Amino acid sequence: MERILSGIKPTGQLTLGNYIGALKNFSKVQYEGETFIFIADLHALTLPIDPEVLRNNSRDVAAYYIAAGLDPKHTTIFLQSDNPSHSELAIILQNYLYMGELSRMTQFKDKSQKMKEEAIGLGLFAYPVLMASDIVIYDAKRIPVGEDQVQHVELARDLVKRFNNRYGDVLVMPKAEMVKVGARIMSLSDPTKKMSKSDPKGDIYLSDSLEVMRKKIMSAVTDMGREIKYDVENKPGISNLMTILSSLTGKSFQEIENEFVGKGYGDFKRAVADAVINEMTPFKARYEEVIKSGEIDKILADGASRARKVSELTLKRVQKAIGLYNK
Ligand code: TYM
């Protein structure tokens, strides 16, 4: 069985973009292989974060995983920091990724853009090293991610190639895979920008109430004209809302266009809001149940022990291949 692996960083509040591009998809693909889904809490430290916020966010991501339908009996759900093999391997792998390529990473450029060089943490720079380690430590082949993480997975591929050229067939080659529709949900206030975890107006947070979600969609920026048409260049706002609608209902862009011929933006936005609320109502209820059930700690503990068993083998294999004594 192929291994499938992905993770979410517990910074800020999760958005509808995270849900469509990642969460919902994780629960869809989980039974196609042996699946590992984790909470990237060490990655959350790459930018300043309050300890209490980190703790709560980590618990929330775990609850969202279960609420979205991840099945802890099948899928290994765990905290990155509960498996020291990730960090141990990262210390080794950092020698096979280069400063030049790390400094070209879009995420690093975006996040460090406004910082003074003296204040940019080494962890932010080395982010893709730990991420490559997260992936290869489980011999994972399929990495379901949103579009913004594909570049990091590509870098992990370069690393595997480089490493294996030198030491033989030690690491398994991973591949990023994206959802067909919704791998890059855009901000509702500026549809030329990605929906991120830090833009309260343009983001729909999974923690927003259903009324707030509806309001945000009804006041989403739209475009000139009144036609409902998928055209990213000339109608980025409408195209983004169509993407959300399509990914939640399974309707194609053509079907949506046909449905709204002769209707206005108001009707269309109402349909998008209905679809979001339809999806979020049971999801949010399930999240509340999971939080109340107190089952999260047990799921994470079981997940961590399963994860450790698998990753120890890879770590040994790598240590041996590179010549660490007595491994
Ligand atoms: P993170 O926490 O930034 O995002 C989690 C997942 O959500 C996707 N995503 C989106 N998809 C569609 N539209 C959007 N607007 C949107 N915003 C975010 C992301 O692409 C991602 O799949 N580095 C990762 C976490 C990580 C990881 C890994 C992932 C750490 N190690 C190993 C895969 C494999 C991150 O910060 O994702």
Which residue of the set 24, 73, 193, 197 is catalytic? 197
Name the closest-CA residue to atom 3, ligand 1.
Answer: 9
pLDDT in tens, 229-252: 999 999 999 999 999 999 999 999
Name the closest-CA residue to atom 26, ligand 1.
Answer: 7
User: Which pLDDT score, from 0 to 100, does residue 28 have?
Assistant: 97
In the predicted structure, residue 327 carries a pLDDT above the cut 90: no
In the predicted structure, residue 40 carries a pLDDT above the cut 90: yes
Is any ligand 1 atom within 6 A of the Cβ of residue 39?
A: no
Query: Is 132:159 a contact under the CB 8 Å cutoff?
Result: yes
From the list 130, 60, 96, the residue with the least C-alpha distance to 283 is: 60
Is any ligand 1 atom within 6 A of the Cβ of residue 6?
A: yes
Q: How far is the CA of 19 from the centre of ligand 1 (A)?
A: 10
Q: What is the mean pLDDT of residues 32-60?
A: 97
Is any ligand 1 atom within 6 A of the Cβ of residue 144?
A: no
User: Which pLDDT score, from 0 to 100, does residue 326 have?
Assistant: 86
Among residues of the chain, what percentage have pLDDT more than 70?
A: 100
Mutate which of 148, 206, 248 for ligand 1? The one with the most ligand atoms within 8 Å of its CB, which is 148
User: Which pLDDT score, from 0 to 100, does residue 116 have?
Assistant: 85
Kindly indicate the confidence band of residue 185, based on its pLDDT and cuts at 50, 70 and 90: very high
pLDDT in tens, 107-163: 999 999 888 888 899 999 999 999 999 999 999 999 999 999 999 999 999 999 999
Q: How far is the CA of 292 from the centre of ligand 1 (A)?
A: 26
Give the list of residues 6+ apart from residue 253 with CB closer than 8 angstroms, or none.
230, 242, 246
Name the closest-CA residue to atom 19, ligand 1.
Answer: 146
Tell me the pLDDT of the chain averaged across its residues. Answer: 96
Question: How far separated are the first and last CA of the chain, in Å rounded?
Answer: 27
Q: Sign of the C-alpha dihedral, residues 87, 93, 98, 103?
A: negative
Which residue of the set 9, 24, 194, 216 is catalytic? 194
User: Which pLDDT score, from 0 to 100, does residue 85 have?
Assistant: 98
Is any ligand 1 atom within 6 A of the Cβ of residue 86?
A: no
Is any ligand 1 atom within 6 A of the Cβ of residue 46?
A: no
Q: Which atom of ligand 1 is nearest to the CA of 184?
A: 13
In the predicted structure, residue 53 carries a pLDDT above the cut 90: yes
pLDDT in tens, 244-283: 999 999 999 999 999 999 999 999 999 999 999 999 999 9
User: Which pLDDT score, from 0 to 100, does residue 199 have?
Assistant: 79
Collapsed DSSP state (helix, strand, coil) of residue 9: coil
Instruction: Render 56-98 in DSSP notation, one character per residue.
Output: HHHHHHHHHHHHTT--TTTSEEEEGGG-THHHHHHHHHGGGS-
Q: How far is the CA of 183 from the centre of ligand 1 (A)?
A: 10
User: Which pLDDT score, from 0 to 100, does residue 224 have?
Assistant: 87
Name the DSSP class of 315. Answer: H
Q: What is the mean pLDDT of residues 76-104?
A: 98
User: Which pLDDT score, from 0 to 100, does residue 115 have?
Assistant: 86
Q: What is the mean pLDDT of residues 52-72?
A: 98
Collapsed DSSP state (helix, strand, coil) of residue 38: strand
Kindly indicate the confidence band of residue 200, based on its pLDDT and cuts at 50, 70 and 90: confident
In the predicted structure, residue 198 carries a pLDDT above the cut 80: no
pLDDT in tens, 287-299: 999 999 999 999 9
Q: What is the mean pLDDT of residues 200-224?
A: 94
